[in-house]
Structure 1
Amino acid sequence: MLYFDGLLGIFTLGLWIFCLVDVITTDESSCRNLPKGLWLLLVLVVPLVGSIVWLVAGRPQQATRARGPYERHTPAFPEYDRPGRFAATSPDDDEEFLRRCRERAEAQRKLAREKRGEE
């Protein structure tokens, strides 16, 4: 019986430490149902029950991997997440892009000719 109590105690301690670190590192806007400070207080004061309640009702729904020590929910390419953004599959398929490139190149050539003419 003592062996079972020891394993239960180690499990509870591990769960408590995991949940405590998880609450601290979770972004305030990602916490569900209670503010982050109350979750921290709940996990600190009532370790086993608070940890289980945090895992069930407080932890953020989406499982995201941290990209760095200070980045939590940053997408890899945020410019692709904007609504209404169009990305051509190939530059040859985008006639408007090619037209603007040609106009810009011609304007640069004209400016270079004018500069050479002045010198």
Structure 2
Amino acid sequence: MTRVLLIGALLAAVFWVFSIVDCALQPPIRHRGVSKPVWIIIVVVFPVVGGILWFAVGRARASALAARRAPDDDPEFLDRLGSTSDQDERIRRLEEELALLDAEDDDPRWRRPVPPPAASQSTAPGDPADKPADRPGDGDDDARDQRGAAGA
């Protein structure tokens, strides 16, 4: 009978130490119910019962924790997205709406103002106002139509 009690005490002590070590080494995201320090206190103060509670209630299983994935790797996320035909339909509708908006360009506020017609001046033939100013030095603009930059 003494041997059975010694073996039971030895198994309880091994279980107790294993529970403390397991509780201390698990990352905080794997602790359910209360925080990590509280679980360690429960396992230390109540040796066998605390260990049983830790493994039954406090320790979250690895399979219960979903592995974090990028959205394009997550099949559930991809299923929630619309199918390709839904996206194609939406794009087609948006393009039609844009075409209608382009066709409705009747609002005068969005038109470019029309420059007033140039006043015709009567000049005598051979007057310097008759010559086009397209070469540098002929007038105030250079070849790039930049005023005052002739020869630069």
Q: Counterpart of 1:38 in structure 2: which amino acid?
A: V
CA 1:85 to 1:28, structure 2 compared with 1: closer, same or farther past 3 Å? Answer: closer
Q: Residues of 2 paired with 1:39 and 1:23: CA distance?
A: 7
Residue correspondence of structure 1 range 1-119 to structure 2 within 5 A = 1-62=1-62, 81-85=69-73
Aligned residues: 73
Q: Residues of 1 paired with 2:59 and 2:5: CA distance?
A: 28
Q: Counterpart of 1:84 in structure 2: which amino acid?
A: D
Per-residue deviation at 1:85? Answer: 4.4
CA 1:37 to 1:2, structure 2 compared with 1: closer, same or farther past 3 Å? Answer: same
Q: 2:34 aligns to what SS in structure 1?
A: coil
Provide the alpha-carbon RMSD of the alignment: 2.4
Q: Residues of 2 paired with 1:21 and 1:85: CA distance?
A: 35
Deviations 1:80-116 (A, max 9, x none): x311249xxxxxxxxxxxxxxxxxxxxxxxxxxxxxx
Query: TM-score, normalising length from structure 2?
Result: 0.43
Indicate the structure (1 or 2) with the bigger Cα radius of gyration: 2
List alignment gaps of at least 5 residues for structure 2. 75-152
Q: Quick check: which one's helix share is greater?
A: 1
Q: Residues of 1 paired with 2:44 and 2:59: CA distance?
A: 15
Q: Residues of 1 paired with 2:50 and 2:73: CA distance?
A: 43
Q: Counterpart of 1:82 in structure 2: which amino acid?
A: A
Q: 1:84 aligns to what SS in structure 2?
A: helix
